[in-house]
Amino acid sequence: MNPIFTSIAIAGPETILTLGSLAALMLGTFAKKSNALAATSLFAVAILALAGFSLLDAPAGPNQAFDGLYIADAFSAFLKIIILAAAFASVLLALPWLMSSDSSNGDGGGTVGRFEYPVLILLATLGLTIMVSANDLLTLYIGLELASLPSYVLASFARNDSRSAEAGLKYFMLGALASGILLYGVTLIYGFTGSTQFDIIAGIVGGQTERSLGLMFGIVFIMAGLAFKVSAVPFHMWTPDVYEGAPTPVAAFFSAAPKVAALGLMVRVLIVAFPGEAAADWQQILIFIAIASMILGAVAAVAQTNIKRLLAYSSIANIGFALVGLTPGTPDGVAALLFYSAVYVAMTLGSFLVVLQLRRPDGTPVEAMADLAGLSKTQPKLALAMAVFMFSLAGIPPLLGFWPKFAVFQAAIAAGLLPLAIIGFVASVVAAFYYLRIIKIMYADEPGVALASTSSAVNGAMIAGAALFCSPIGMLAITPIVAAATTAAAALFPG
């Protein structure tokens, strides 16, 4: 078979997403205006599902395509399933908001009922899947930019909302800066190794008798660019403002799929391209990033009164916890990070779904934590689901969120990083305060305004499914998820 066609077949999910996004764009353009949004959204959901099912036939061993620029293996397949599932949910949960005709609801309603939203999700997802299959620094950059450009538009999608426009502008400006930093790191790595392909870089770095200062600077710049994408400290500054200003469905998408893809990309770059002696350089940087993210995410969220900003700081803290698993650079640590990523997506999407489902009596969205007062009396089912998500994010056993946090700490201790695990435990205890405060507001405070919930059966079903997954019932899924994560991690450690 022609090598080009072989490469296209290996990159099956990306091929489906590429053709599907173009077809969705044409469908939305030529469909009747009244039907364009529904038709394009349903088509996008079908494309995402088809891309996910294409991974079921993926070969067990690694397959390189496009002359080694792209790799399909168990590691990328595991992450793509999570990314596609998060994108699938992001399209569905946004439909009630997109179809809203109330332009005064403060969340962009009446101005956003356009078919471009699912198309942008498809294009961003395409970039995210390329990121986790990147086997070359240039593929890394292409995937990163392909994911970022639609994300800038999504952040400012509610064009009549000044906060959304501000969020999009901030995200674009800081994202462009981070891309430049990362690209400079790529040029340094190429200059000191003569290659951009991960396995070739690993061979050259492993053969060096002395550490190269220029190579170390290249690693630092690349890690800085990737840290921005996962919103790790000290490159987190965009996250609270963008989460608060962007429409809630967009913030939900940002909190899930891009974070997982960027974490996967960081894992592949550090483990595959810079193993051995080079690991000592990036490990020290990663320890600082993990500790700073855990502490700042835990402490800064305590003072927040906006639920979306609180979830933004929560995501920063959770990224710190996940990076604890990567810091040892071991198969067990990477498997723990993958396990953490899978559970984190369910917890954070479920939290945003509850927020999205609630409306004040005048139709404006719920964003202030005080609005949740007495929710257990007015909306007991949503309050129960939110309590499950908060307890799980806090890592309180026996909810599912406890187990991946325990796994990353266990991996750090096994690698001799006991102080890092202790700091993570303390930060987790501090973070539990603001999660429990939300539960206290919902169950102990007297109701202020009677909140209404949107009549979306699909969103209600997703909330129920996510809550059951994060509840003690979800422990039934631990064995298959951990087994899949272990297999995926082993793909990065051949031999």
**Of 57-66, 224-233, 258-267, minimum mean pLDDT range:** 57-66
Does some domain include residue 375?
yes
Is 50 exceeded by the pLDDT of residue 109?
Answer: no
Q: Residue 5 belongs to what H/E stretch?
A: helix 3-10
First and final C-alpha spacing in the chain? 30
Does some domain include residue 367?
yes
Provide the residue range defining the domain that includes 371: 279-495
Query: To 10 degrees, what angle do helices 331-357 and 402-414 make?
Result: 160
Q: Residue 372's pLDDT is what?
A: 86
Does some domain include residue 139?
no
What tokens appear for 416 in the block? 């001799």
H-only helix segments in 66-115: 74-98
Indicate the pTM of the whole model: 0.93
Q: What total number of domains does the chain contain?
A: 1
Q: How many angstroms separate the CA atoms of 124 and 144, rounded? A: 9
Each residue of 359-414: pLDDT tens digit?
A: 777 777 788 888 888 888 888 888 999 999 999 998 888 899 999 999 999 999 99
Is 50 exceeded by the pLDDT of residue 214?
Answer: yes
Does some domain include residue 123?
no
Residue type, 41: S
CA 394 to chain centre: 18
Q: What percent of the chain has pLDDT over 90?
A: 49
Q: Residue 6's pLDDT is what?
A: 83
Each residue of 267-284: pLDDT tens digit?
A: 999 999 888 777 888 898
Q: Residue 108's pLDDT is what?
A: 46
Ordered DSSP codes for 99-111: T---TTSSS-TTT
Is 50 exceeded by the pLDDT of residue 340?
Answer: yes
Q: Residue 1's pLDDT is what?
A: 59
Q: Residue 281's pLDDT is what?
A: 82
Does some domain include residue 233?
no
What tokens appear for 305 in the block? 């009164």
Each residue of 467-480: pLDDT tens digit?
A: 999 999 989 999 99
SS3 306: strand
Q: How many angstroms separate the CA atoms of 235 and 290, rounded? A: 12
Structure letter (DSSP) for residue 270: I
Tell me the Ramachandran region of residue 339: left when phi exceeds 0, alpha when psi lies from -120 to 50, beta otherwise.
alpha
| Pick from 160, 159, 320, 154: nearest CA to 243 | 154
Q: Residue 32's pLDDT is what?
A: 74
Q: Residue 105's pLDDT is what?
A: 40
- Counting Cβ atoms within 10 Å, is residue 65 exposed (0-12), middle (13-18) or buried (19+)? buried
